[in-house]
Amino acid sequence: MLLKEYNVKEEKLVIMDAEGNIVNKKIMPKLSQKQIMDSYKTMVLSRVQDERMLQWQRQGRMLTFPPSLGQEGIQMGVALALRKQDWLAPAFRSNVTWLAKGWPMSDIMLFWNGNEMGSRMPEGVRILPVNVPIATQFSHAVGLSYAAKVKKLDEVAMTFIGDGGTSEGEFYEAMNFAKNLNTPTVFIIQNNQYAISTHRSKQSAAKTLSQKGIAAGLPHLQVDGNDIFAVYAAVLEARKLASAGKGPSLIECVAYRFGPHTTADNPDLYREKSEELEARKIGPIVRLKKYLIKNKLWTEEQDVELHKESKATVNAAFKEMQTKLDVKLDDVFNYTFEKLTPNLKSQLAEAKKLFNK
């Protein structure tokens, strides 16, 4: 057992060190070479997508969005442990898990361009719409997993929160409900060291954020979020517990936000560039790349090729997104109530007259 209900030691789980060496062979999770390489490819694809979207935002071709730069290891490790029938109640910073679970990239871009139609998931893709009010997704995940429990279905709900989000009341309330109802829920903290400009050290006096699970009676663990294998091993165990009727768990994944909070933020105003550069040296993508190269699964040439292919995929998704940008006037009114209320009907008629539609 990696996760414990009262883990006084509070050690951070590491399986792969910063040089890509497996330092904890006994608990290295079983993954095929293909799974590891595919994971790397998805992480790089998301990295390229974030970088391109930042450029497009600066050119006025994209609206505000929160990049996942530096958090690819967490998000991919979680995706590996998710089964198709499992639910994801995401926070706004979850791009790799979205891609891996099947939210089309062009629709993700559409959503971040302000068009809600981007949130319409393809049939069978169990991702809730992006949640901006912090911590509310924790309760949604408890609701979903409680429903699965009542219906006796093997469906687990996973949900993300940031380090800052763990200071919200709803973070505790959801965990408390989940444990009391013994729901199959996996709570994941993406600790990227910052809540906008507030550093982790100013966020909470708790030694770890994972220990916040103790109060609710949850098995919990802190893992190195730059280490995809540690994240996967921990989340897989949490999923197994949930699926076996043993209830919810809490996992804190520690990484670093390489980029701005969102495109509306400028981290140079509150942190040293050197801090980011140090964090980049031990980040999730360089680390996995070192592992792949050491194990002769990957070459620098393949890496150059992958970046080229990823850019082409991202550019194609952007083009596709541009064809879907148009908003229908009816859609502005259509989705609040099952049927239009008399008030909304008259407002729609007025809007149609105003816009000559």
Residues that bind ligand TPP (CB under 6 A): 93, 132-134, 162-165, 190, 192, 194-196, 257, 261
Q: Which does 93 bind (CB under 5 to 8 A by kind): ligand TPP, Mg ion, none?
A: ligand TPP
220 catalytic residue (yes or no): no
Question: Which residue lies nearer to ligand TPP by CB, 160 or 291?
Answer: 160
Angle at 216 between CA 160 and CA 204, to 5 degrees: 65
Question: Which residue lies nearer to ligand TPP by CB, 258 or 291?
Answer: 258
Catalytic, out of 58, 120, 199, 270: 270
239 catalytic residue (yes or no): no
Q: Which does 196 bind (CB under 5 to 8 A by kind): Mg ion, ligand TPP, none?
A: ligand TPP
Question: Which residue lies nearer to ligand TPP by CB, 124 or 133?
Answer: 133
Sole binder of Mg ion in the list 136, 159, 167, 192 (CB under 5 A): 192
Pick left, alpha or beta for residue 69 (phi over 0 → left; psi -120 to 50 → alpha; otherwise beta). Answer: beta
Position with the least CB separation from ligand TPP: 162
* Signed CA dihedral, 169, 253, 48, 273: sign only: positive
Name the burial class of residue 349, with classes exposed (0-12), middle (13-18) and buried (19+) by CB atoms within 10 angstroms of its CB: exposed
Could you say whether residue 227 binds Mg ion (CB under 5 A)?
A: no
199 catalytic residue (yes or no): no
Question: At 78, phi and psi to the nearest 5?
Answer: -65, -45
d(CA 151, CA 136): 23
Least Å distance, CB 37 to ligand TPP, is 27
Least Å distance, CB 35 to Mg ion, is 28
Beta-strand relationship, 185-191 and 249-254 = parallel
Report CA-CA distances (Å) from 75 to 141, 154, 159, 187: 17, 22, 11, 13
Catalytic, out of 261, 271, 287, 291: 261
From 75-83, 122-130, 190-198, 205-213, give the range in contact with Mg ion by CB under 5 A.
190-198
Catalytic residues: 257, 261, 270
